[in-house]
């Protein structure tokens, strides 16, 4: 009830200014318990996936808390998990502003942020300074990427450096190879490139596991713009290289659903309602091929409870939200959990009870 008022004010501001302003006030609001009041009750609905227990299946997608500076405050809305990042080894400014656009009639966003972040050293310091979310049972995913100035042939160096830096502080690590806003990044999803990257990360993780005596799950985040035919071999490569989960999907470069709208032609990744159907399709393609070999985290265009149920029915066992959180507000978390609970589509063990049949 409170969010529509806040939204009417925030939507008058430039989107990135609104984002910064909201995050800067969030810790204060959380300190007074206001975030809980705004979000309402979020039921417990435990899900086992990647060897972890999630208190509910709804998480915050990567990109909102790029520097991991607001985990506890965001966590107090009731998310089951938060994925902080994408973080790169070295700090970088990202693309020139403006780089974030609202497509209000379509309930979409276009962003070309370009991994603006303070670098992994400050990121880890922020994670270590916040303990409340994890102490309350929240799962923390840390999402890693490569610096814009690192040539794509040396991408593994950046991902391995990121993995080493965040390893001890993550419940799981997400490997982002699907942002459209870093030159050539999505080429890492190609068969040869992916094989080399995954082999390198598997070796690095084995070393870290030996050194620290703890195996941290790795999830790979993929794009919605892959050809359907590319998805089965990609899924097989993830399984073959001991990856623990797949996050589908990142933003899309397609514009067919937003043609003619203001900002539709801006360069970047489109998220929100116009992405929903394709993201669900990709979840379904993965699920039909994987047959339970890997858990799928479904993300893209979840704007209401029914959209979360749709992702689970398609084969996801966890979901994430970003644009829906901006448009619908924190109440969306509880609405999604309740809708999933009411639809009785989750087995609780990381496997959806029913998967959608091939169309
Ligand atoms: C402003 C913005 C920044 C984002 N930054 C990242 C990022 O840094 N890393 C990443 O993996 N995904 C990033 N994403 C993608 C989201 O995590 C998510 O995959 C995508 O927006 C689809 O979900 P949605 O429709 O619920 O927003 C970003 C999305 C937006 C809107």
The whole-chain average pLDDT of the chain stands at 95
Model pLDDT, residue 282: 98
Task: Tell which residue, 326, 303, 251, 299, has the closest CA to residue 23.
Answer: 326
Q: Is 15 a pocket residue for ligand 1 (Cβ < 6 Å)?
A: no
Active site residues: 179
Contact 138, 147 (CB under 8 A): no
Q: Is 302 a pocket residue for ligand 1 (Cβ < 6 Å)?
A: yes
pLDDT digits 0-9 by tens, 11-30: 999 999 999 999 999 999 99
Q: How far is the CA of 325 from the centre of ligand 1 (A)?
A: 11
Instruction: Determine if residue 146 is left, alpha or beta; phi over 0 gives left, psi from -120 to 50 gives alpha, anything else beta.
Output: beta
| Ligand 1 atom with the shortest distance to the CA of 271 | 25
pLDDT digits 0-9 by tens, 103-142: 999 999 999 999 999 999 999 999 999 999 999 999 999 9
What dihedral do alpha carbons 28, 36, 317, 278 form, nearest 10°? -70
| Pairwise pLDDT comparison (39 vs 245), residue with the higher score | 245
What's the pTM?
0.96
Residues ≥6 apart with Cβ < 8 Å to 135 = none
Place of tokens 């403006």: 98
pLDDT digits 0-9 by tens, 179-234: 999 988 898 888 889 999 999 999 999 999 999 999 999 999 999 999 999 999 99
Q: In this structure, which residue's CA is closest to atom 13 in ligand 1?
A: 63
Q: In this structure, which residue's CA is closest to atom 14 in ligand 1?
A: 63
Q: How far is the CA of 291 from the centre of ligand 1 (A)?
A: 26
Contact 83, 174 (CB under 8 A): yes
Which helix H or strand E contains 60, and what residues bound it?
Answer: strand 58-60
Q: How far is the CA of 62 from the centre of ligand 1 (A)?
A: 6
| Ligand 1 atom with the shortest distance to the CA of 111 | 1
Q: Is 61 a pocket residue for ligand 1 (Cβ < 6 Å)?
A: yes
| Cα gap 145→220, rounded to integer Å | 11
Residues ≥6 apart with Cβ < 8 Å to 59 = 79, 80, 81, 82, 83, 139, 141, 297, 318, 319, 320, 321
């Amino acid at each position: 009830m409170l969010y529509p008022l806040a939204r009417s004010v925030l939507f008058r501001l430039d989107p990135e200014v609104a984002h910064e302003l909201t995050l800067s006030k969030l810790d204060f609001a959380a300190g007074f318990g206001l975030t809980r009041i705004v979000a309402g009750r979020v039921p417990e609905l435990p899900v086992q996936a990647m060897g972890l227990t999630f208190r509910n299946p709804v998480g915050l997608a990567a990109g909102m808390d790029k520097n991991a500076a607001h985990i506890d405050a965001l966590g107090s809305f009731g998310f089951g998990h938060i994925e902080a990042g994408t973080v790169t080894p070295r700090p970088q400014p990202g693309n020139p502003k403006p780089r974030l656009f609202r497509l209000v009639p379509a309930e979409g966003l276009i962003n070309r942020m370009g991994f603006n972040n303070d670098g992994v050293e400050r990121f880890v310091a922020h994670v270590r300074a916040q303990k409340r979310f994890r102490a309350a049972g929240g799962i923390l995913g840390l999402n890693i990427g490569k610096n814009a100035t690192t040539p794509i042939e040396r991408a593994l160096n950046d991902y391995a450096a990121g993995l080493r830096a965040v390893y001890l502080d993550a419940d799981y690590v997400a490997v982002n190879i699907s942002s459209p806003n870093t030159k050539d990044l999505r080429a890492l999803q190609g068969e040869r490139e992916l094989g080399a990257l995954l082999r390198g990360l598997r070796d690095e993780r084995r070393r870290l596991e030996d050194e620290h005596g703890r195996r941290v799950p790795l999830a790979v985040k993929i794009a919605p713009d892959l050809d359907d035919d590319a998805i089965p071999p990609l899924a097989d490569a993830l399984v073959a290289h001991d990856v623990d989960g797949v996050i589908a999907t990142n933003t899309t470069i397609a514009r067919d659903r937003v043609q003619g709208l203001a900002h539709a032609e801006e360069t970047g990744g489109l998220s929100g309602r116009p992405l929903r159907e394709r993201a669900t399709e990709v979840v379904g393609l993965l699920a039909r091929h994987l047959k339970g070999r890997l858990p799928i985290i479904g993300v893209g265009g979840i704007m209401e409870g029914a959209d979360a149920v749709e992702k689970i029915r398609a084969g996801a066992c966890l979901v994430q939200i970003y644009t829906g959180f901006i448009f619908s507000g924190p109440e969306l978390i509880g609405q999604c959990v309740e809708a999933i609970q009411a639809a009785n589509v989750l087995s609780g063990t990381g496997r959806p009870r029913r998967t959608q049949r091939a169309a």
